[in-house]
Structure formats: structure tokens, C-alpha cells
């Protein structure tokens, strides 16, 4: 198993904390956000981890290479700022990193705190054997995102608009928030789902959401509900709340 950790964002809402520190390196309960993910990945048998970087990107390998030296972890990087002068957003960053990844891989955003998540080998194997292009873990909608992102019905992720019609004979499927943790296949980043050239040599910036919605409409995205601890560390207030709950 291998994983891609997304760590390229600027973290505008976290300023001034992120003016000198990349958001994924901000400490939560004594450990950098990225280190929480890596500890869980190693615990669950994932040894190959690729990290994409942009804003203050040189700090990330400096920290991780020192923190995980001497362990079984095999770290690699995709340096977007260095290669193109800017971050490539989620789909653009994944497409750029894809030549360094296997056909099936875990994805997690480096600015999310989810210490209870299990990067399960059985889930990985079942997904690899399926025809799905993605499997998403969804969470109950937090206060800052009450409308959610996607529907969930019988293990399938649904591309439901927030104002989807509800009728007496078909109540709306519940909508949940995408946790930013997923299993993905490289096939999702090729036509007809993704227009970016293989390896993203032009450095195109593109979000992941439209690709996922196209695949959902084709019935090729599964989903599970994750009920463990989860926080999108998007503001200084949410970071402070995590620290106080320690």
C-alpha cells in the first residue's frame, strides 16, 4: 500500500500561523498534523508515502526526513512550487504525483486531524478488486459546513445538489462532508474523467471535486461513514479547540 498526503496549500485562513510554517506542520497535541497521518499509516502497514508541497515547501522534507529517519517509512516528494511556482490544487497535484504512485493508493489531506482512522488493508484490497474509481470516507457535517458535500446511500457516494428535490415516495439521501481521506485509482486521472495530460507536465491547477462527481454520476464511487475523531484544521479557532481538548 502507498499513500499521497496533500501538503501544498497556502492556509490563508490560518494566517498569521501559516506565514512562516506550512499548515500541515502546525502542531496538534504535541505532534505535527502530517506526523499524525504518517504514524497511522505506518501502524497500518503503509510504508510508501508521497507528499506534495508548495507553500514553504522546503520545510516539509526537512521536518519529515528528520522525524522519520531510521523507520520503515519510504518518503518521496512532489515539489509543485519548485517545479511551477504555484500549487496545483488537488486534482492537479495528484495528476502531477501520479507517476510516483501505484495504480491504487490512499489519499489524505495533510491539514486534517483524524487520529482514529484505520488505513485498512482489507478495504484497500476490496477497492482494488472493484470497478470503482474512488472510495470516499464521509463524516457527519461539522458546524462550519452544515450542507455537506455528497449523498450516501447503500455504500455509494451520490452527486446530490444541496437543494435536491425531496418527494413523498423518495426522501433525499442524507448528505455528509468529505473527510479528505479516500482510496483512489490512477484511472480517475485519465480521460474521460480528467482532461489533464499524464504527469501534468504543464502544471495545470484543477480541483478534485468535478472528477469525483463525474465518476459518481457513472456509479463508480463508493463511500463509507467515518465516525472517529475528525477535524478540518482550517482556522486558528479550530486548532485552539483541538489543543484544549487534549
The residues near 148 (Cβ < 8 Å, ≥ 6 apart) are 141, 162, 174, 175, 176, 177
Residue 137 pLDDT: 98
| Position 162 confidence tier, pLDDT thresholds 50, 70, 90 | low
Q: What is the CATH number of domain 2-244?
A: 3.90.550.10
Q: Is 173 a residue whose pLDDT tops 80?
A: no
Taking residues 45-57, report their average pLDDT. 95
How large is the average pLDDT for residues 107-127? 96
User: Is a pLDDT exceeding 60 seen at residue 172?
Assistant: yes
Q: How confident is the model at residue 14 (pLDDT cuts 50, 70, 90)?
A: confident
| The model's pTM | 0.92
3-class DSSP string for 139-204: ECCCCCCCCCCEEEECCEEECCCCCCCCECCECCCCEEEEEEEEEEEHHHHCCCCCCCCCCCCCCC
Please report the pLDDT score of residue 169 as a whole number.
47
Per-residue pLDDT tens for 60-72?
A: 999 999 999 999 9
Amino acid at each position: 500500500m502507498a499513500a499521497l498526503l496533500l501538503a501544498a496549500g497556502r492556509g490563508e485562513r490560518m494566517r498569521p500561523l501559516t506565514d512562516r510554517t506550512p499548515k500541515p506542520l502546525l502542531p496538534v497535541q504535541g505532534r505535527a498534523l502530517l506526523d499524525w497521518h504518517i504514524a497511522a499509516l505506518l501502524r497500518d502497514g503503509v510504508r510508501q508515502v508521497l507528499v506534495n508541497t508548495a507553500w514553504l515547501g522546503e520545510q516539509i522534507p526537512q521536518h519529515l526526513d528528520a522525524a522519520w529517519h531510521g523507520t520503515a517509512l519510504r518518503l518521496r516528494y512532489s515539489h509543485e512550487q519548485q517545479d511551477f511556482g504555484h500549487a496545483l490544487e488537488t486534482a492537479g497535484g495528484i495528476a502531477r504525483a501520479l507517476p510516483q504512485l501505484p495504480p491504487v493508493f490512499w489519499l489524505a489531506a495533510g491539514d486534517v486531524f483524524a487520529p482514529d482512522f484505520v488505513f485498512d488493508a482489507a478495504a484497500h484490497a476490496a477497492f482494488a478488486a472493484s470497478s470503482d474509481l474512488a472510495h470516499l470516507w464521509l463524516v457527519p457535517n461539522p458546524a462550519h459546513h452544515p450542507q455537506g458535500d455528497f449523498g450516501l446511500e447503500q455504500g455509494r457516494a451520490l452527486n446530490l445538489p444541496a437543494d435536491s428535490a425531496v418527494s413523498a415516495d423518495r426522501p433525499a439521501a442524507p448528505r455528509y462532508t468529505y473527510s479528505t481521506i479516500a482510496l483512489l485509482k490512477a484511472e480517475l486521472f485519465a480521460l474521460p474523467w480528467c482532461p489533464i495530460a499524464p504527469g501534468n507536465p504543464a502544471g495545470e491547477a484543477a480541483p478534485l471535486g468535478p472528477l469525483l462527481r463525474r465518476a459518481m454520476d457513472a456509479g463508480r464511487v463508493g463511500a463509507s461513514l467515518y465516525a472517529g475523531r475528525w477535524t478540518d484544521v482550517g482556522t486558528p479557532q479550530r486548532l485552539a479547540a483541538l489543543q484544549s481538548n487534549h
